Each structure stands twice: as structure tokens, then as C-alpha cells.
Amino acid sequence: MVSRLSAILGAVAISLVAGAASADTFERNIMTGGPSGTYIRIGRDIAALGASCGMNLTVVESAGSLENFVGVRNRSNTQFGIVQSDVLEYLKTFEANDPEVQQAVRGVRIMFPLYNEEVHVLARTDIADLKGLAGRRIAIGKADSGTYLTATLMLDILQVKADERLTINPDEALPKLLSGEIDALFYVAGAPAQLFANTAIDSARFHLLPIKDTPLLATYTPVTVPAATYSFQQQPVDLVAVKAVLMTYDYDPKKNAYHRDSCRSVSDFSNLILNGLPKLEETGHPKWKSVDLSALPPGWQVGSCVKVGMALDYKPNCMVPAPPVPKAPDANEEYLNLLKQRLKKQ
């Protein structure tokens, strides 16, 4: 696992790509996840906040947390990425003794903690718990995803030796599970996960595995998914969760135009999210209702550009288009308007 992580992070460049752009056309991106996941819906909610302020934000699909972390550090015009807290904890654990990890995390900062993401393990009903996955064929997510890291860590902590660990994403894995090609799949996503909500799953054949193993509770938070969260799940299920965290980079506005514009964008979106949280809770993904902006993961710093946007007197650089200029009335319309005004006075 350590060698895999080093291989991914070793490709991270030392410096960010710089390129100046005018304020109204400046490119902003947020790295999210797969098309049916929670991250991409959260990203779209944040992009909608920006659009209401006249600022563009492109929502980018990705393999998940590891790719998003690296993207914030290395990908041009990518100011934001959503990452799982256990990925952050894993990176922090190896930072002290691994130069490649040290380089990868340099400059990456917390923007806001978001919500808990439940660890779903959908399996055949003849499998009772995680230890019952021994000797089975299991889908654990793409190699650069948070699901992959979480599944790998949990199985290793419990010393569960599967017959095969398939590194495919949950979208690919679910049809294989339903057809009997595999026995279970891992999926880290905020409940209700759209993938399960939009698919007909036979409750007589498949269920969510309860996750109550004591060794896992040192790293993961115990949660309960309420009954009927999914059509195939009529009883509450005890699971564990990780925290989804919005990450950014610690831009230096004095360095160059790219850093200046990126820092301003981070400040703007920090302010928009902070002040727009009630709107997000009302109109966005249901997970916004459980967001706790104070639940910071230990050992990580909040970005300086984020703090600027959180100031009480900060005003985001909104560029909402000006309202259309009304059409000038012709002579007859102008006369009729004047006549109406005169008649009102009589």
C-alpha cells in the first residue's frame, strides 16, 4: 500500500503551472468523483453558488480522493478538491518519513470539513459481516480512489484475505454483483448514495454488511443508516463513516497573476459557502444538512486565502451580469405614459 501511494504521489510536480487570466474569464475547477457519487453533486451545488455570483466553476469527474488531492497540488487551474479524511490521515502518517509524501502534501490546505460519508459494503445475504469476505471476490474501487484506500485499510486491519480484490469503480462493480460475478463491493459515499438509490436491488439476495468491528473504530466514526434509506434496506444498519473534506492550495497572491487570481477565487468561494450554507441546506444535496464547518481533521492547516474570505467585512468579487437595458419607448408610448401620469394627478 505504501509503495502504491508513493508511486501516485511521486508524479506530483514541485511547482504549480502559472498562467494569468482576466478576472471574468479565469478558469476554476473542482475535482469531485464519479458521475453517480455524492462528491459530484456537492461540487455542482458549490458551482451553482458561484454561478449566482457570476463566477464559473467547472465540476471535474475523477477517480476520487487520491486523484483529487494530487490534482489540487499539481493540476493547472484546479483550486478545489474533495478528499476523504482517512486519506488525509494516511498521508499525515507517512509524511514524516517519506520525502515523496512530504513533497505531495506541501502547500495543500483545508478549506472546509463537510459531511460524513458512510462506508457501504453491499454483499450477498449469505455473507454476515466483513470477516465473512474472506475467500470471496470483492470490488474495492479504482486504484486512485478513496474507496480503494478505505477498503484496503479496513481489510488489512481486520486481516481479511479475499480470493480476489478487483480494482474497479462501484458503477462497474454493481452489475457484476447483481449477476453473480462477484460477492461484494465497497463504496464510500454519503447516504443516500445515488448508485444504490437508482438501481433495483433484490433485498432477498443482497444487503449492506453491518460494520461494528472494534479495531476499525480507532480510525472511523460509528454511524447508523436509518431504515428505508434504500429500497432494499428496511432495517437500520450500523456502519462506519469518514469525513469528506474540501481541500485547496495555499496560494501566494504576491507570487504571480495565477496565484493572485486563484487566491481571490478561494477567498470568494469560502465566503459564498460560509454565507450560503442555509441555501445549500435547503436546495442542495441532503448531506449539506449535516455539514459541520468546525470539525477540522487534526494535523492540517486551513489555507490563508480561506481565512481572508471568512472575514466579516469580506465582499466576494461577484460578476453577476447587469440587468438588460429596457427598450426605449417610441414617441407614442412616451406620450401615453406622460398622459397617464397627468391623469393620475387630476
Q: In a 3-state reduction of DSSP, which class is residue 106?
A: coil
Q: Of 340, 321, 337, which Cα lies nearest the Cα of 329? A: 337
All cell numbers assigned to 301:
492547516
pLDDT in tens, 174-184: 999 999 999 99
**Single-letter amino acid, residue 289:** K
pLDDT higher for 10 or 75? Answer: 75
Residues 6+ apart with CB under 8 A from 30: 43, 46, 47, 57, 58, 59, 60, 78, 79, 80, 81, 82
For the stretch 300-311, pLDDT in tens is: 889 999 999 999
Provide the Cα torsion 20, 24, 25, 27; round to 10°.
70
Mean pLDDT of 63-92: 89
| pTM score | 0.77
CATH superfamily of 1-346: Periplasmic binding protein-like II (3.40.190.10)
Q: Which residue has the higher pLDDT, 208 or 221?
A: 208
- Alpha-carbon span 40 to 55, nearest angstrom: 18
CA angle 290, 280, 294 (to 5 degrees): 45
**pLDDT 10s digits, 227-272:** 999 999 999 999 999 999 999 999 999 999 999 999 999 999 999 9
Q: Which of 142, 126, 128, 69 is nearest to 297 (CA)?
A: 69
